[in-house]
Amino acid sequence: MNRSDIETIIEKIASGSVVPYLGPGVLYDVRHDPSGESMPADSDSLILAMNRGRPMAPKLMYEFPRAAMNIELKRGRRFIEQFLTKLYGAEKWSRAALHDWLASLKPAYVIDINRDLQLQQSYQQVPHLLVRGIARIGGTDYRFMLHQHDGETYRGVTIEEADTSLPILFKPLGSPLPHSTYIASDADFVDYLTELMGGFGVPAFLKSQRKGKQYLFLGMRFTRDTERMVMSDIIHDAAEEAGWALIPNPTDKERRYCAKKGITIIEMDLPRFLDLAQTAAFA
């Protein structure tokens, strides 16, 4: 893919016809202040961080939700919530280059399956609507919560109150702010995915807006079953040619899956993409 193709995709992101879909890889360059350690974002690094740097049994290392379920059974769900809130809400992290680039574009709709705050920080002075996934909660048929930001603070809103003309940040797996909520363990995902497939995990206004959209998958690999299931339901009603995925050295499994979903693989890493994106911005 050449620079003109990248420029076209970026123009479509700016116009709203292409939606950025952010996976763990977008946080590749984020470092902890002052230790300099990388932010735990992918499955393996999250498991190690949760277990104080120690690997767990091979069957638990397979995927973070499985490991989180094991820890939850031993130490309770609250332990997982506190771990994620401290990791992403209390610790100090450097900015991701990808998020700085997105902040300059401020797309009208972004999906982010990470649980950190960088996307929300990119819009912290811009009114926006935050949609986050919830699980294992009573008193509602829905598996999402809505908060509207006025450029200074968040407030909870109903579907009827939500200003859907604002930029929409969809964080299906949750975040620490305005208060912590997460989809983390197997039990969370079973509940969330069941309701997502049943139509209760996405607000009605997003179901209407997402029809015919294309997506640019950034920092997203298609080797994890759980992440693939979440993605498949969230992009329901996408265009027949669903978009593009930046995947350096894709596996055969990823090639088959993306072909099935109508996703074109761009064999390029994020630093190279950002170089081209920055060049396009000044062209």
Encoded tokens for 172: 């299906």
Q: What is the pLDDT of residue 281?
A: 60
Number of Cβ within 10 Å of residue 267's Cβ equals: 12
Encoded tokens for 176: 């620490």
* Distance separating alpha carbons of residues 265 and 244, to the nearest angstrom: 6
- Helix (DSSP H) and strand (DSSP E) numbers for the chain: 12, 11
Cβ within 8 Å of residue 190, ≥6 positions away: none
* Per-residue pLDDT at 151 exceeds 90: yes
Question: Where does residue 76 fall: left (phi above 0), alpha (psi -120 to 50 degrees), or beta otherwise?
Answer: left
| 57-89 pLDDT tens trace | 999 999 999 999 999 999 999 999 999 999 999
* Distance separating alpha carbons of residues 59 and 18, to the nearest angstrom: 37
Encoded tokens for 194: 């069941």
Whole-model pTM? Answer: 0.96
Decide: helix, strand or coil at residue 169.
Answer: strand
Single-letter amino acid code for the residue at 229: M
202 secondary structure, DSSP code: S
Could you tell me which residue, 163 or 277, shows the higher pLDDT?
163
The residue ranges of every structural domain in the chain are 3-54+91-282
CA 251 remoteness from chain centre: 22
Decide: helix, strand or coil at residue 76.
Answer: coil
CA distances, 122 to each of 104, 117, 191, 210 (Å): 9, 9, 30, 22
| 229-251 pLDDT tens trace | 999 999 999 999 999 999 999 99
Pairs from 205-208 (Cβ < 8 Å, separation ≥ 24): 205/159, 205/162, 205/164, 206/131, 206/168, 206/170, 207/236, 207/237
Averaged pLDDT of the chain: 95
Q: How confident is the model at residue 215 (pLDDT cuts 50, 70, 90)?
A: very high
Residues belonging to the chain: 283
DSSP codes, 222-273: S--HHHHHHHHHHTTT--SS-EEEE-SS--HHHHHHHHHHTEEEE---HHHH
